[in-house]
Amino acid sequence: MEDISLRELIEILLRGKKIITLITVIAILVSGIINYMVLEPEYEGKVVLMASGINSRQQTVPQAIGVEAVLNTLSQYQYSQMSIETYKEQINNPQVLQQTIDELKLSEYGITRRSLKGRVSLATIKDTNLITITVNYSDNKLAADIANTIAKKFTDFVSEKSKEQAAKSSNYIKQQMDVEKENLDKVLLEYKDYLSQPRGLNELQKELDSKLTLITQYKTDLLNSNIEEQKTKASLAAAEKQLQSTPQKIKVTRSLLDEPFMSQAMKDTSGNDSKDSFGVVVEAEEVNDAYTQLKILVGNLDVELAKIIAQKNNLQKEISILQKELETLQGDLAVRQHEDMIMQEKVKFSQETYNAFLEKYEETRIASSSAIGESTIIIVSPAVEPMSPIAPNKRMNMAIAVVLGIMLGVFIAYFKEYWQASSPKNLSM
């Protein structure tokens, strides 16, 4: 049964070979006419762009804190912060397409924004910052020109929008910078008034230093006085002890000749010459010179000891007074130091805040006058005039026409055979 069925199928094809051949030839002719006479050749212009600085900026901005973080947020430029996909989507921006149409006068060719967008294909290369812009058009030169113009207009578009954003940020930062400048001037004036107050920090510090030097000198003098006192007391004790063991008067034996007064008195009363009285001896008491000298020494040591004790008392009194003054001064100085630290912190914070605004203002001012798009979007490979069209693929179309013609012919052949076999005339026979 299978052999019979296959044979019948082949016989049907052989009987319908004329139809199959005719339909196939017609399909080939139609395809040839369409390929060579109806369809216009399509050329492809391709531009490769590189969006630079995307990853690095997105990583560095979140590291800032405080005022810097706020200013970084204010000074971020919209298109310099976009991802590669966002860049790609913005290439088909209506403004970019319209500017391309206007510059190349594409409206004369009947090209609108919608039709131009349909001719533009965008793609990104994986794991890179590269974007390809592909434009298909029947004119090979115009296809390349459209692709290059879209790339250029997109770069200008990014620069324009970045400048607008930078100008807005710059104006806002300028206003805030003026406010911070006024605050800084107020703080500096307040600090100046604080420094001009009597008994300021420096004055208190110098006064404290001088009193510390003075009390140190007093304590040194007191220490020396203690040493002198001990030495004087030791000398006084030794002198008093020696004085107690020394007699106040001593007995002496002398000849009358050794006493001029007694010798003259005897001569006047007896009329004898002093030589006659030479052998007369007299005992007498007189003040001990050693005792007298010791007595004077003890008195001097008493006086000196009294002076030393008086000096010690005065030094102790002065030291006590200075210690109280130092305690008061140290308290006043601590208060002044705290006030001065607060003032310096206020000045430092105001100065740093103003400097931060000034720095960001200069950055945004420069950015508002620079072509950020040209530095962010780089045309790596501009489009060149294609030498051969990419469409239509005539060989492919002819091959498809042959296949379709054969399939259609086979279908018609089988349908014809079925129609004839199923007619009432053939069924009745």
* pLDDT > 60? residue 119: yes
**Is there a domain that residue 319 lies in?**
yes
Q: Is the pLDDT confidence value at 329 over 60?
A: yes
Residues 187 and 206 in one domain: no
pLDDT in tens, 403-427: 998 999 899 988 888 787 776 655 5
Q: Which residue has the higher pLDDT, 166 or 372?
A: 166
pTM above 0.85, yes or no: no
Q: Do 98 and 16 fall into the same domain?
A: yes
- The reply to whether 342 falls in a domain is no
- State the average pLDDT over residues 181-193: 91
Is residue 35 within 8 Å of 398, Cβ to Cβ?
yes
In a domain, 40, yes or no: yes
pLDDT tens digits, 337-363: 999 999 999 999 999 999 988 888 888
Identify whether residues 178 and 211 lie together within a single domain.
no
Instruction: Look at the chain and report how many structural domains it folds into.
Output: 2
Tell me whether residue 425 is in a domain.
no
pLDDT digits (tens, 9 = 90+) for 208-242: 999 999 999 999 999 999 999 999 999 989 988 88
Q: Which domain holds residue 159?
A: 2-192+355-418
Does one domain contain both 285 and 158?
no
Both 89 and 207 in a single domain? no
Q: Are residues 185 and 246 in the same domain?
A: no
Residues 254, 392 within the same domain? no
Claim to verify: residue 13 and residue 159 sit in the same structural domain: yes
Is 103 contained in some domain? yes
**Same domain, yes or no: 139 and 283:** no
* Last residue within a domain, chosen from 307, 327, 347: 327
Question: Does residue 384 share a domain with residue 291?
Answer: no
Predicted confidence band of residue 31 (pLDDT cuts 50, 70, 90) = confident
Residues 181 and 319 occupy one common structural domain: no
Let me know whether 129 and 48 are in one domain. yes
Is 343 domain-assigned? no
CATH code of residue 233: 1.10.287.370
pLDDT at 367: 66
Does residue 428 fall inside a structural domain?
no
Q: Residue 335 domain-assigned? A: no
